[in-house]
Chains A and B, each alone.
Chain A
Amino acid sequence: ETGVTQSPTHLIKTRGQQVTLRCSSQSGHNTVSWYQQALGQGPQFIFQYYREEENGRGNFPPRFSGLQFPNYSSELNVNALELDDSALYLCASSLREAGGEQFFGPGTRLTVL
C-alpha cells in the first residue's frame, strides 16, 4: 500500500507568480484535504475534495484553487503569490466512509521571494 506522496518537495517562487502543487492519495482513499502550515503554527484547512467535487473550504481567498482527478489525486493552485504564502503545504487523504482519519503526506515547502 502506497502512502500519500506530494511533489515537488521544495519550490521557490517570486511574488505575483503562480504555482501548482501535486498530491497522490493513499490507495483506496477518495477524499483529499489541503492544509497550509506556516512556520511554528498548526496546519490550517484550505479545502477538501471528495469524488472530484469541492467539499468545503477554509478561510482562504479564491486565488487558492484545486482539482481532484478520477484517480483521486489532487492539485493545489495558487495564483498571484504573496510573501505570506510561504509555508509548508500539506495534503491529507482519507476514505470518507471510514469516518475521519486523515493521512498526511510529507508536504511541499513553498518559499515566495
Chain B
Amino acid sequence: QQQVKQSPQSLIVQKGGISIINCAYENTAFDYFPWYQQFPGKGPALLIAIRPDVSEKKEGRFTISFNKSAKQFSLHIMDSQPGDSATYFCAASHTSGTYKYIFGTGTRLKVLA
C-alpha cells in the first residue's frame, strides 16, 4: 500500500515536444505529491508539487495533472529542451507524522536536439 508506480521507465522526445510521465499510488492518505529532477551524480531537485485539493498545477513549462479518484498523477513538460534530459522521480507523502517520501522508480528522459 506504500508503493508509487512510475512509467515509462525511459522516454525519448524530440526538441519542442511534450514529455509525459505518469505515476500511480495506492495509499489514499497521501496528501503531497512532488516531482523531482535528477542529473547524474547530483541530488534530486524539486520541480513542482501538488496537493490533492487541486487537479492541476502549472509552473512555467511544467504541469502536474492530478486525478484523485484514479489515484494517479502525471508530469507534463511542454516544449521539451535538451537541457531537460535527466531522470525524473515522482513521490508521495503524508504531511503529518513522519512525512517520508515514497519515490517512484524514475523515468530517464532524453530530449533530442
- Footprint of B on A, CB under 8 Å? 4, 6, 33, 35, 40-45, 48, 55-56, 58, 90, 92, 94, 96, 99-107, 109
B58 to chain A, nearest CB (A): 18
**B42/A42 in contact, CB under 8 A:** no
* A42→B103 contact, CB < 8 A: yes
Number of interface residues of B (CB under 8 A): 25
Residues of A within 8 A of B62 (CB): none
Which B residues are closer than 8 A to A by beta carbons?
Answer: 6, 32, 34, 36, 41-46, 49, 89, 91, 93, 95, 97-106
In the bound complex, what is the Cα–Cα distance between A48 and B96 (angstroms)? 13
Q: Please name all residues of chain A whose beta carbon is closer than 8 Å to the beta carbon of B89 when the two chains form the complex.
A: 42-43
10 closest A-B pairs by CB: A56-B98, A42-B103, A104-B43, A45-B100, A100-B32, A100-B95, A99-B95, A106-B43, A104-B44, A107-B43
Q: Which residue of B lies closest to A45 (CB)?
A: B100
